[in-house]
Structure 1
Amino acid sequence: MLEFYTNQYCGLNYHTNKDEQAKAGSIISNFENSFIETDRKELLERLYNSLAKLDLGRSAVIYAIKE
């Protein structure tokens, strides 16, 4: 969903263009913060839960450094 938003409406392809990754990150943060700052965090969580049920949820990439 947010990938569609950033790709189609903002014209960003942050998967292949590293310069656009920071832009996309701030757009997504602003999107999420707009819900949180207006006391609609529960609505945002319901949105993400609904997307996850459709296998369209957010993905997580975890990096680790071996000590």
Structure 2
Amino acid sequence: MICPSCHAEIDSSTETKPGLIAYISGFIIALCGCWCGCCLIPCCVDECMDVHHVCPNCKAYLGRFKR
């Protein structure tokens, strides 16, 4: 893609972070009585993570893919 900030042709750098689905799933698991760390499992599952895209050239934030 072409970076809108530096106008260079790039392949964006990606970083995954827990999204809203991970936090809601963890809260529901905790409400069901799994207090021993099981509520943190959704924060490790790729399907619950949001993907953030950044330009590797100028470090401009390009967007987020929500799940």
TM-score range, shorter chain: under 0.3
Higher relative contact order (CA 8 A, sep 6+): 2
Normalised TM-score (structure 2): 0.26
Structure holding more strand per residue: 2
> What is the TM-score with the length of structure 1 in the denominator?
0.26
Name the larger-Rg structure. Answer: 2
Instruction: Please identify which structure carries the higher helix content.
Output: 1
